[in-house]
Structure 1
Amino acid sequence: MTHFQIELIQKLFRVSKMKASLLAILLVLAGVGVKAQQQKPLYDNVFQNTDSLYKLPLKEVIQQIESRFNVKIRYAADLVKDKWVTYAFWRFRPSLDATFENVLTPLDLKVNPDGDHKYELKPFEYYRWPVKEGWATLDAIAGQYHDKQSWEARKDSIRTELYAAVGLFPMPARPDKPVMLTPERKYADYQVQNFALEILPGLYLNGSIYQPLKVKGKIAVMLSPDGHWTDQRYRKDCQIRCATLAKLGAMAISYDLFAWGESLLQFNGEDHRKSLSITVQTLGAIRLLDYVTSLKQVDTSRIGISGGSGGGSHTVLIAAMDARIKLSAPVVSVSSYFYGGCPCESGRGIHECGGGTDNVELAAMAAPNPQLLISDGHDWTQHMPEHDFPYLQRVYSYYGAENNVVNVHLPKESHDFGPSKRTALYRFVSKYFHLPIDRILNKENHIDESFVHIEPKEALYTFGDHGQYLPKDAIKGYDQLVEVYNSAMRSAQSDWNNK
């Protein structure tokens, strides 16, 4: 024992022999020294707590972690309120990562890096894995096939299970009510009209259809779902994307997520995170494909889909499930270590299909059709070029179609559907759907979106600015949706059994 440690013990006893903490002495003897004295002495709580579980409030344990490892942890007050850590001191380990895991995992909490020596406390994210774990899982999945034949068998199995997982096997009957269309609004080089499509009795899918003013022959189609961004299909960049695709020569169709947009006339926003969200959204896209393929002016060999973020997850799923999709472009979405943080992306066990799958394998199910994956440097797609994209190239090589899958990686950009991402989409659609790119180029040969007229969101409503045109038979509320869905599925099962 050093002379300094002996002096420190003597001072502790001189201050108060009755209050001197035996634990403090042990810390000194263990070599903790001055640093231990600078930390908040949580050991007092140990002697006050007679519970054999050695519980401490989470807030105090976080303070001890901050002090011991010289870090700062940011958190919302409600995340730590009324939360306790059992065997608190026993959960500490020499490494910060191991301590975080021991303390936070039992409470369904985690931390994300938030700068140098800084962290943010968050609820446990089932859908976000460590990068290397995601890569290892994809490698294990890929080990089940090695050529076109073994891959096709795997793909067929997953597709069948996906329909069952989302709750659409057998497929419920399609309502025979005609689509509701608003009058067309004409602008420079394109026109817009809104629609409402009944996909189950009383359940409507709403959106807007953008078309070129002058059409010769059959027309290509781009379904344009959007993600969980504010104002969704009413946003400026969504309108720009659809209008520019229309000027390029395609019919671009934007449509609402479940319990978003005009769907809020039938449901509450909280319903979007309930189990039927992925069912309704998948059924909506399938019914929309039923509709567009019935139109005489549509070229069914040129139907694509492109969405961003949650709309990118939707893009991957629909391209995997429905062979009528001939081109796909998921934007800032696909990753082997991110499964989608909303039930509309990762609900109903879709990733348990085939004994376990992920979004990269689901994206591979689009092969050999053209597929553009746009990634960036500031979300879960930041490592796309390193591991996930080479896997996709390998699957496409089974068909001799490696050039049909393209990754545009933008390492300095973030999670959005900004100009450079839209430019990549326009050029990809132009190439594979044989649409002249010069229709949307300016004199400097740059993509020109300046012609787009941005409409107020009220102009994009089908059911009126106050919902006054909502059909009287429309479903009202999630409970009624469950009843209608269950009834439709019972009828579908009966018809299936009688075939």
Structure 2
Amino acid sequence: MTTLFLLSKVTDLSAQDADNHYNATLKETLERIETTFHVTLHYDGKLVDGKELDYAFWRIRQGDLDNSLTAVLAPFDLTYYQEDEDTYSIKPFQYHKKSISIAKEELAFFETLYATKMAWEDRKSQLRQCMIEALGLLALPEKPSSAPIITKKRKYKGYTVENVALEVLSGVYTTGSVYKPRPLKDNHPIIIMPNGHFGQGRYRESEQIRAATLAKMGAVVVTYDLFAWGESQLQFASEDHRLSAAHTIQTWNGLQWIDYLSALKETDPQRVGITGGSGGGSQTMLLTAIDDRIKVAVPTVMVSSHFSGGCPCESGKPIHLCAGGTNNAEIAAMAAPRPMLVISDGGDWTHTVPELEFPFIQRTYGFYGEKDKVTNAHFPSEGHDYKYSKRQAMYPFMAKYLDLDIDKLKDDEGYIDESGVTIEDENALKVFGENGDGLPENAIKGKDALFNVME
């Protein structure tokens, strides 16, 4: 009797229609998954209302939750993310996000592709070539030969600041501030600092502190605007930042800043470092992967196998489809065997780094016998930022591998003293002036003009 009762319940919930489609509502199907796998599914009711699924219960595979969820959600362009051991959230499909379980499978698959240095070098070469092509860098017109625009230098204790604009494409400018040691000598290492999506961009206090402190240690440092952020908004609307072209332009800008700083008589082009947080962390990984001139990298709060950045400036071009598919953990591993510090925290998508991404990256460094060249500074109780504790992890790493003079800034407890930095007003950091009156006459404006130049 019990067996007959259970069978009737199943028949009621997944009734066979005239076409033998055994359809049920998506909500009923998800409830059955919860019961079958003893999990909780969180979702907005609007996502499932009115949705029916053919062969609904037949899509559920005993013992395989991931395949079951994929099978019932994919027809509606929905996906899922694991929140904790027994809880999952259901969301509209997002190309830049995947579940942690899928990321684990992906990394395990990558490991089957290469078990030796030679096999990895072949994979890395394929990835690099494809990413450069996907970004469209080789198709860009030649950089103009115009001279950089440089503002008056401000002098502070141990460092100087001057604002610089480079014409990277005809009528397209990248703007930043260059921090140099004082007194200025020869053979100073270079550090470029691509920005992320933090409030105030490169003008924020923490960014100025980071740049100035590194300059006081002996580096020539540049911090520069995101595309369609900061002074770039004199040329492009803020919404243009979400064009896929932003991915190309920001990468191109980073390469041009390396060119510019490497050509200065006071710098050593053999010692180039890079660090940035969030979207700047995405650029740190990408630029390091495609440009061997970068010798030291510190990607911050961005290395993740299950998240590649929700902004088109980070993933708008299909670099993550290269070589059959990749992710940011593998892109970060392309830094090997160059020194890299991965900074992560417990409050964002980098919370899995110590157990998931870092061992994967360290394996790649092992192909070169250089596992000690990659390390992870993890802050489990912190969130998505590049604040004091994370800077304190970065400074000694940069100092070690770029031969910076860190001892003169250490306090009695061994921390780096940042107190001697002068925080400048936002307008003081602008190349073209408070109202943009200094923007060159040949500067183009608008996305249509940009597309014309890029083509």
Compute the TM-score of the two structures, normalised by the length of structure 2. Answer: 0.85
Query: Could you say which structure has the larger radius of gyration?
Result: 1
Residue 432 of structure 1: how far off its partner (Å): 0.8
2:51 maps to 85
2:286 maps to 317
Report the residue type matching 1:177 in the other structure. S
What CA distance in whole angstroms lies between the structure 2 residues aligned with 1:82 and 1:144? 39
Does residue 394 (structure 1) correspond to residue 360 (structure 2)? The answer is no
SS of the aligned residue for 2:309 comes to coil
Q: Which moved more, 1:388-397 or 1:311-320?
A: 388-397
Residue 285 of structure 1: how far off its partner (Å): 0.9
1:375 maps to 344
2:334 maps to 365
What CA distance in whole angstroms lies between the structure 1 residues aligned with 2:189 and 2:454? 32
- Report how many residues are paired: 443
Residue 83 of structure 1: how far off its partner (Å): 7.3
Residue 334 of structure 1: how far off its partner (Å): 0.9
Residue 160 of structure 1: how far off its partner (Å): 1.6
1:264 maps to 233
Structure 2 gap segments, 5+ residues each: 11-20
Does residue 473 (structure 1) correspond to residue 442 (structure 2)? The answer is yes
Once the two structures are superposed, what CA deviation does each residue of 1:173-209 show, in whole Å capped at 9, x if it has no partner? 1210111111112222222111111100011111111
Does residue 449 (structure 1) correspond to residue 418 (structure 2)? The answer is yes
Structure 1 gap segments, 5+ residues each: 2-25, 32-51, 487-499
Contact 1:62 1:73 in 2 (8 A): no
Does residue 332 (structure 1) correspond to residue 301 (structure 2)? The answer is yes
Contact 2:82 2:100 in 1 (8 A): no
Rate the CA distance shift 1:84–1:327 in 2: closer, same or farther, 3 A.
Answer: same
Report the residue type matching 1:387 in the other structure. L
What CA distance in whole angstroms lies between the structure 1 residues aligned with 2:219 and 2:39? 56
1:43 maps to none
Does residue 429 (structure 1) correspond to residue 398 (structure 2)? The answer is yes
Residue 89 of structure 1: how far off its partner (Å): 12
Once the two structures are superposed, what CA deviation does each residue of 1:106-135 show, in whole Å capped at 9, x if it has no partner? 444456677999987754222121212112
What CA distance in whole angstroms lies between the structure 1 residues aligned with 2:101 and 2:336? 25
What CA distance in whole angstroms lies between the structure 1 residues aligned with 2:296 and 2:84? 39
SS of the aligned residue for 1:191 comes to strand
Does residue 195 (structure 1) correspond to residue 167 (structure 2)? The answer is no
SS of the aligned residue for 1:330 comes to strand
Residue 219 of structure 1: how far off its partner (Å): 0.5
Q: How does 1:233-312 map to 2 (within 5 A)?
A: 233-312=202-281
Q: Match for 1:155 among 94, 102, 124?
A: 124
Contact 1:195 1:207 in 2 (8 A): yes
SS of the aligned residue for 2:329 comes to helix
Rate the CA distance shift 1:188–1:160 in 2: closer, same or farther, 3 A.
Answer: same
SS of the aligned residue for 1:468 comes to coil
Q: How does 1:92-103 map to 2 (within 5 A)?
A: none
Once the two structures are superposed, what CA deviation does each residue of 1:242-263 show, in whole Å capped at 9, x if it has no partner? 1111111111111111111111
SS of the aligned residue for 2:189 comes to strand
1:173 maps to 142
Once the two structures are superposed, what CA deviation does each residue of 1:213-239 show, in whole Å capped at 9, x if it has no partner? 113321111101121122221111111
Report the residue type matching 2:286 in the other structure. L
What CA distance in whole angstroms lies between the structure 1 residues aligned with 2:114 and 2:142? 36
Residue 70 of structure 1: how far off its partner (Å): 11
Compute the TM-score of the two structures, normalised by the length of structure 1. Answer: 0.78
Contact 2:206 2:387 in 1 (8 A): yes
What CA distance in whole angstroms lies between the structure 1 residues aligned with 2:115 and 2:138? 29
SS of the aligned residue for 2:168 comes to strand
Q: Which moved more, 1:221-230 or 1:113-122?
A: 113-122
RMSD: 3.5
Report the residue type matching 2:403 in the other structure. H
Once the two structures are superposed, what CA deviation does each residue of 1:301-351 show, in whole Å capped at 9, x if it has no partner? 111110111111111110011111111110111122222222221222111
